[in-house]
Chains A and B, each alone.
Chain A
């Protein structure tokens, strides 16, 4: 499990390094979509960490959840923009709540040990 955490940390740092060195910047108009996608991705990662700690980590569920959550979050923002309803608040609330739940579960798991 520690190998997984290390690998995750290495991947994160690597992604950041690549991100900082790529000259490409997203247009401002897509900032909102990207932000929500990041939130959803964070939620997925925390969910993955929690699942692995509880011993029921499934690779397919993790990967599909990661991408589908990110896409759904961005899609919600898009639809909200088209309908002039701020739908992305729903995504923020849902993913935010889940994020804290996952964090709480991870905390409890770590403390129980």
Chain B
């Protein structure tokens, strides 16, 4: 009989304990995270993790695109730089070197009183002839000859790029040396004519000719590029 009462008391005690524990747990909702809420958060976490993975992939993709764009940018820069370099050569703003000829023109000194001194026209004809023979860059006594350069007599001197030059005149031309030389020295050609006029003209083929840059500022006040033509 005693067993019975002990067990009843024990069971009642445990039941009371459980009841109160459950009561306290149930009324403890505010303090802790409710079970459903935890579940909800877990689901949300899963979704966010997936989203994060997606965004990460997207970021990688964009980074790759950016990388490619940067590469394209570098290439464009290279192309532009090459273009600028070429434009500078064409414009005569950079010294150029290459094979070519050196033409020296001097007044014959051995016959004093000779009428024919070297005139601007002679130099112009020489330059013209060299250009016709395919000269890519020209200079006259260190003055780069541009499309705007003048060669004309001013008093007793010849002016090039508004700069006085004195004899002997030295023309440097970059181009095919054989073509340039033969063009000048052709029978009955310009050099022969000049020599007939007692000028001392020497034409040398050169492996390396250095044509200096145009030293003044280029000014284009009136000419504007035509947009439609481009």
Contacts and interface: CB of A to CB of B under 8 A. Distances in A.
Q: State yes or no: do A and B come from one complex.
A: yes
Interface in B113-152: none
B8 A28 contact: no
A16 B25 contact: no
Contacts of A41: 11, 14-15, 18
24 contacts: A4-B4, A4-B5, A4-B8, A8-B11, A9-B12, A11-B9, A12-B16, A15-B20, A19-B23, A25-B21, A25-B25, A25-B28, A26-B24, A29-B35, A32-B35, A34-B22, A35-B22, A41-B14, A45-B11, A48-B8, A62-B7, A62-B8, A63-B11, A66-B14
B216 interface: no
Interface residues of B, number: 30
Top 3 A-B pairs ranked by shortest CB distance? A15-B16, A19-B20, A11-B12
A12 B38 CA distance: 33
Contact residue range for chain A?
35 or more
A28 B95 CA distance: 86
A20 B20 contact: yes
Contact of B18 (A7, A9, A11, A37): A37
Interface of A: 3-4, 7-16, 18-20, 25-32, 34-35, 37-38, 41-42, 44-45, 48, 57, 59, 62-63, 66, 70
A44 B18 CA distance: 14
Interface of B: 3-5, 7-26, 28-29, 32-35, 38
A45 B9 CA distance: 11
Nearest to B5: A7
A37 B11 CA distance: 13
B101 to A, nearest CB: 95
Contacts of B12: 7-12, 15, 45
A15 B25 contact: no
Contact of B19 (A38, A66, A70): A38
Given A29-B35, A59-B3, A19 B24 contact: yes
Contact of A27 (B8, B10, B29, B32): B32
Given A11-B16, A28-B25, A48 B38 contact: no
A97 B219 CA distance: 107
Given A4-B8, A28-B33, A57-B4, A15 B22 contact: no
Nearest to A30: B25
